Amino acid sequence: MSRVVLFGASGFIGGHVRAALEADPQVGAVICPGRRDYDLIDGDHRELVQLIGDHAPSAIVCCVGRLGGTDSELIRGNTLVATTLLEAVAAVRPGVRLVRLGSAGEYGIVPAGHAVTEEDRATPVAAYGVSHLAGTRLFQLAGENGLADTVSLRVFNPIGPGMSQENMLGRAAERIRAALATGADEITMGPLSAYRDFVDVRDLAEIVPAVLRPPRLSHRVFNVGSGRAVRSREAVRLLAEAAGYRGDIREQGAGPRRSAAVDWIQADVGRARAELGWAPGRDLATSIKDIWAAGEAG
């Protein structure tokens, strides 16, 4: 029975990861320090060492990170969080399995039609991807040097119940909801021509206990996606249908800096399937219906 410390359990992804860990019969306890207990971005190193020492986990999972902000904020929230955990684990629990969430943004521009593998060259085009790639590489180096048993999960475009407006479909849901409430006949979004690999957050959550089960892993990086590229415009159309919204969807402005230059992304999830026995189980239409239903229930 494993004992897991989970950072970021109050977030969109972290909440689903917590549920998946607590439902797994091989996980004996899930400890979820909140920001009041320890701030992983700004906290004191000695306090983190003490926290890890006190709980003596067999695994640590980090769902803390930043999607936006200045370049320095992204580096602090994604790269330095990785180094903070690595240094604390090396000091008090060397050999513990340490899992972080990375990003498909690490890959950068991918040729249209290509399903990207973990062995493909990673050339991020924005600070967001750079900050995650640096964290992934630092984890790999620590694992190779025996400082920790490290794993990075390269998450593609997570969607599902509880998603926020930081994500494209979360913004679309809120704008559709507002239009339905006011009788507006149009909403405005950024460009929706890019192809994205939308993975249900519940499928994503289920890979975390899967990556904790094997006593040894052959790889330290795993793609976590649906394995299918869908034009963003089609995803928003499905959301509008689920909501019963028949107004216009205008596209103007620019997309988020972290992904604006990337027109196509699709995951090859063969490594996770072969080594962990994990595969995405929910289709896009189901995920989108659940996004809308969760917002209505809330």
Q: What string of DSSP letters covers 200-257? A: EHHHHHHHHHHHHSSSS-S-SEEEES-S--EEHHHHHHHHHHHHT--SEEEE-S---T
Sign of CA dihedral 44, 47, 53, 55: negative
128 labelled catalytic: yes
* Distance separating alpha carbons of residues 98 and 4, to the nearest angstrom: 10
Catalytic residue among 107, 128, 195, 245: 128
Please say whether the beta carbons of 281 and 203 come within 8 A.
Answer: yes
Query: How far from 264 is each of 141, 193, 229, CA to CA, in Å?
Result: 29, 9, 7
Beta bridge partners of 29: 3
Active site residues: 128
